[in-house]
A = this chain, B = another copy of it.
Amino acid sequence: MNKKADALRITPRSESHPDWYQDVVREGQLAEAAEIVKGAMVIKPHGYAVWEKIQGELDRRFKATGHKNAYFPLLIPESFLKKEAEHVEGFSPELAVVTVAGGQELEEKYVIRPTSETVIGHFFAQWIQSWRDLPLLINQWANVVRWELRPRLFLRTTEFLWQEGHTAHASHEEAKEEVLRMLDVYADFAEDFMAMPVIRGEKTASEKFAGAVTTFCIEAMMQDGKALQAGTSHDLGQNFGKAFNVRFQNEQGELDYVWQTSWGVSTRLIGGLVMTHSDDNGLVLPPKLAPIHAVIVPFFRKNADENARVREAGAELARALEAEGLTVKFDDRDGAPGPKFFENERLGVPLRFGLGPRDLVERQLEFKRRDQSEKRSIPLDGAAKFAKEALADMQQELFRRALARREANTVRVDDYDDFLDLMKSERDSESKFVFAHWDGTPETEAKVKAETKATIRCIPLPGQGFEAEPGTCMVTKKPSAQRVIWAKSY
């Protein structure tokens, strides 16, 4: 579909991870830079189809946990952001501002939402009066704009698509439960659907959301060992409740401010998907998020009758696969199979079937899984059931590989000199997660960041195999309650 994309090479990952990423995104027909607007992108049909799969499953999970979708305005009066001091400080440098509308200079400027805590706080104040109105559990699917100086497709774009959950509760305890519930929804989705293992944890004060009391996150390791923050869930305390005067009468008849949460994931997830599974041949998609599960390529010969039978058998196989719930592409365009294999491989189609006249005689099919290098023959009879099992197996295998890679590239360091050696000796495509002690101060964190570019990705929550034993900070040797995850990140 893209003139420029015809037959372009994918840079091997070992040569340059950033170039490889850009090439896989382009050749996978996921997106392209929209150079007409700084840092913006076009999400192409194949990329958008992946986003629809992500949306569909997350939306189902949000509704299953009691949330309802709504839609709030894109434009926010500039004064709204200023009502929460940390919030405006955090977002001011990234704002796009509307100063003219309907042919007139505006009296009050509007910003395009970088996130919607403020405008939603305003409406919550009108909608909530009593504990009976709580909890109020809202989600919004929307676009947001944050001006990016170093844009990168899906990972950092000036406009992106996301969902933002916004909830209000009668107690801090209940709000904190919600924050962790949604963090678990994200983590389960990432692991079950994206086949991307994640570490759930708490952000340090310097990495938290501007305006939150506490930010929790899921962090994933990309194939170069760098961390990707894949989703966040914020305990907003009463910060926005106070800023927007969101008060309710509690069961005792007293007025109190509501306790709020917010949580979001974005099209950034697609970047994470690419960097978790794809290879030097292009995109690899986990079956649960693949818009097309299987491609069937007929092998045509010279005999027209034989070709007609092959075409018929291919169409029949497609119907059998569809009857098992698979989405199938029957690629019976004229032409040799090679370029079709090549194209569908780059698109990340999980399963590929080839079928020629001799296969029909022998009642067999050529079969190749996108995550395996060898093709093989399988019986034509029962192929649909075989395909369904292959998809389930591939889904698990992708997760298993990603988890094994993360485990192999997570190290424990006790001494800061070792940490410095490690960070400095790393090649760009072979980074690591370091599990090390920290004294809990922003000063130590800032020093490490300045000296190595590594940051604290999170303080892991219990129950993930990162045991919370006390120790001494690797930098200052002061007491540390538990090890934290340090890494370079996207």
Which positions in A face B, CB cutoff 8 Å?
1-4, 34, 36-38, 40-45, 47-49, 51-52, 68-77, 80, 92-103, 110, 112, 119, 122-123, 126-129, 133, 136, 138, 142-143, 145, 147, 149, 158-159, 161
In the bound complex, what is the Cα–Cα distance between A110 and B145 (angstroms)? Answer: 13
Task: Name the B residues within 8 Å of A94 (CB-CB).
Answer: 102
Closest B residue to A120 by CB, please name it: B42
Which of A2, A47, A92 is the most central at the interface, judged by chain B CB atoms within 10 Å of its CB?
A2
Which of A38, A72, A96, A149 is the most central at the interface, judged by chain B CB atoms within 10 Å of its CB?
A96
12 A/B residue pairs, CB under 8 Å, sorted by A? A3-B126, A36-B80, A41-B73, A47-B70, A49-B68, A52-B69, A74-B159, A75-B96, A97-B98, A98-B98, A99-B100, A101-B147
* Closest Cβ–Cβ distance, residue A148 to chain B (whole Å): 8
Task: Name the B residues within 8 Å of A51 (CB-CB).
Answer: 71
In the bound complex, what is the Cα–Cα distance between A4 and B74 (angstroms)? Answer: 24
Given A98-B112, A103-B93: A133 touches B73 (CB 8 Å cut-off): no
CB-contact partner of A70 in B38, B45, B133, under 8 A: B45
Closest B residue to A130 by CB, please name it: B3
In the complex, the answer to whether B1 meets A110 with C-beta atoms within 8 Å is no
CB-contact partner of A100 in B69, B97, B133, under 8 A: B97
In the complex, the answer to whether B69 meets A49 with C-beta atoms within 8 Å is yes
In the complex, the answer to whether B101 meets A95 with C-beta atoms within 8 Å is yes
In the complex, the answer to whether A143 meets B74 with C-beta atoms within 8 Å is yes
In the bound complex, what is the Cα–Cα distance between A102 and B111 (angstroms)? Answer: 11
CB-contact partner of A42 in B72, B77, B98, B143, under 8 A: B72
* Closest Cβ–Cβ distance, residue A57 to chain B (whole Å): 15
In the complex, the answer to whether A73 meets B159 with C-beta atoms within 8 Å is yes
Task: Name the B residues within 8 Å of A71 (CB-CB).
Answer: 42-43, 48, 51, 161
Task: Name the B residues within 8 Å of A41 (CB-CB).
Answer: 73
Closest B residue to A147 by CB, please name it: B102
Task: Name the B residues within 8 Å of A96 (CB-CB).
Answer: 75, 98, 100-102, 110
In the bound complex, what is the Cα–Cα distance between A72 and B44 (angstroms)? Answer: 8
In the complex, the answer to whether B36 meets A122 with C-beta atoms within 8 Å is yes
CB-contact partner of A99 in B37, B77, B97, B161, under 8 A: B97
In the bound complex, what is the Cα–Cα distance between A74 and B98 (angstroms)? Answer: 13
In the complex, the answer to whether B75 meets A159 with C-beta atoms within 8 Å is yes
Known: A75-B159, A95-B102, A103-B147. 5 other contacts (CB 8 A): A36-B73, A41-B73, A42-B123, A75-B145, A98-B98
In the complex, the answer to whether A103 meets B110 with C-beta atoms within 8 Å is no
Task: Name the B residues within 8 Å of A48 (CB-CB).
Answer: 68-71
